[in-house]
Amino acid sequence: MAPLKSLESEYPIIDSDFRQFCASHAIFSVEDFLVHDIYVLMALAEEHDTSDRLKQAITQVLSIIDAQHQPWLDGLELLGYSQKSKSILSTGCERIDAFLRGGFQGGVLTELVGPSSSGKTQVCLLAASNVTKSGLGRVLFLDTGNSFSPTRVAQFVSSSSELADTESSKILPQVLDNIECRSVFDIFTLLDVLHQLLQNLRYQVGQNLRMLIIDSVSSLITPVLGGAGTHGHALMASAGFLLKKLAYEHNLSVLMTNHMVAGDGGVIKPALGESWKSIPHIRLLLSRDVLNNICSMFILRHPSMAIGERVEFAIL
């Protein structure tokens, strides 16, 4: 991303005084700006005689970020994704695979939305175990709420119909070794991880990575969306931009989960609002009948399937 100095000609408020203030906190580019806690930066600006001007400059940089990383998906971008995406990763559930025409697509952001206990994490764990069990590659699982369960992965491997008991016990260490789980508890850590992942893949480190899972993305973004400023939305847009870049440039299948919130009139809807709504290429709504433990998956957004199409499935 651009160094701050390159912005001064168009935005005079980003002057040498502001850049010197940023440099004192190891901020030299827009990218550096994003991975810092802006609330702390605002508090530090308050300590200066020119605090009002510094805060105006901070707000200006956030506005620039927000404008440059609009999440809207146009037809040309959609065509590019469809041409780029050639790999399909099985979910591990035959009914879901048949419904989604093979499974989760490479080069695409897929979001699972639904209330608590609707099966979102279970689908993520099943997909992760199936990708690694099948020898298709590695999975990076970003765990935001201690949801990753090696025990559950082991259950999925042992219940696999194509493996005998002795085979599943032999393959389990390899499966778990190929799922890298990292704890991520805030948006700043997420941005750090995504930037580092881009660097690693660019220099062919971890080249066999096939799937990135974030469970859940909403728990990281929701805390920074409050208030009247643009800081939270800029961070959200940047996370979406980086996820799309990772998916498109490295043909990763990116799988995210999102919780539900009450909207107008008490109607339940996915969290993160309209700005985030257009970031996932595919959005799937999950629900579960607690009496018979049958889950349903509905299409909310898909480039080639009709909204409202559904399938029922069970994850044992």
Q: State whether 82 and 55 are in the same domain.
A: no
28-41 pLDDT, tens digit each = 887 777 666 666 77
Last residue of a domain, one of 68, 84, 114: 68
Residue 161 sits at φ, ψ, to 5 deg, of -70, -25
* Cα separation values, 275 from 69, 245, 251, Å: 11, 18, 24
173-213 pLDDT, tens digit each = 999 999 999 999 999 999 999 999 998 998 876 568 999 99
Last residue of a domain, one of 42, 68, 94: 68
* Cα separation values, 210 from 51, 194, 203, 254, 280, Å: 46, 15, 16, 9, 18
Q: pTM of the full predicted structure?
A: 0.76
Picking from 211, 218, 224, 223, the residue whose alpha carbon sits closest to that of residue 181 is: 211
Q: What percent of the chain has pLDDT over 90?
A: 45
Diameter of the chain measured on Cα atoms: 72
Query: How many domains, in total, are found in the chain?
Result: 2
pLDDT of residue 228: 59
Q: State whether 15 and 122 are in the same domain.
A: no
Q: Kindly state the average pLDDT of the residues 210-225.
A: 93
Structure tokens at 62: 């956030």
Average pLDDT of the residues of the chain = 85
Structure tokens at 31: 């990218």
Between 115 and 75, where is the model more confident?
115
Q: Kindly state the average pLDDT of the residues 11-19.
A: 90
Last residue of a domain, one of 68, 97, 113: 68
Q: State whether 277 and 132 are in the same domain.
A: yes
Averaging pLDDT over each range in 2-16, 21-35, 228-242, which range is the top one? 2-16
85-109 pLDDT, tens digit each = 558 999 999 999 999 999 999 999 9
Q: State whether 102 and 33 are in the same domain.
A: no
Kindly give the pairing relationship between strand 179-183 and strand 138-143.
Answer: parallel
pLDDT of residue 80: 57
CA gap 139, 182 in Å, rounded: 11
Q: State whether 147 and 221 are in the same domain.
A: yes
Q: State whether 41 and 132 are in the same domain.
A: no
Are 221 and 272 in contact by the 8 Å Cβ rule? The answer is: yes
CA gap 91, 176 in Å, rounded: 17
Which residue, chain included where needed, has tokens 């399937």? 305
Between 69 and 302, where is the model more confident?
302
Q: State whether 28 and 146 are in the same domain.
A: no
Q: What percent of the chain has pLDDT over 70?
A: 86
| Residue span of the structural domain in which 12 resides | 4-68
Amino acid at 217: V
pLDDT of residue 2: 67
Let me know how long the chain is.
316
pLDDT of residue 210: 95
Q: Kindly state the average pLDDT of the residues 97-125.
A: 94
Q: State whether 52 and 198 are in the same domain.
A: no
Q: State whether 23 and 85 are in the same domain.
A: no
Least confident stretch, 82-91, 94-103, 118-127, 277-286: 82-91
Q: State whether 166 and 43 are in the same domain.
A: no
Q: State whether 38 and 93 are in the same domain.
A: no
Structure tokens at 150: 């090696």
Looking at residue 236, which CATH number applies to its domain?
3.40.50.300
Q: State whether 92 and 238 are in the same domain.
A: yes
Q: Could you tell me which residues come within 8 angstroms of residue 42 by beta carbon, excluding any fewer than 6 positions away?
A: 55, 58
42-78 pLDDT, tens digit each = 778 888 888 889 988 888 887 777 665 544 445 555 5
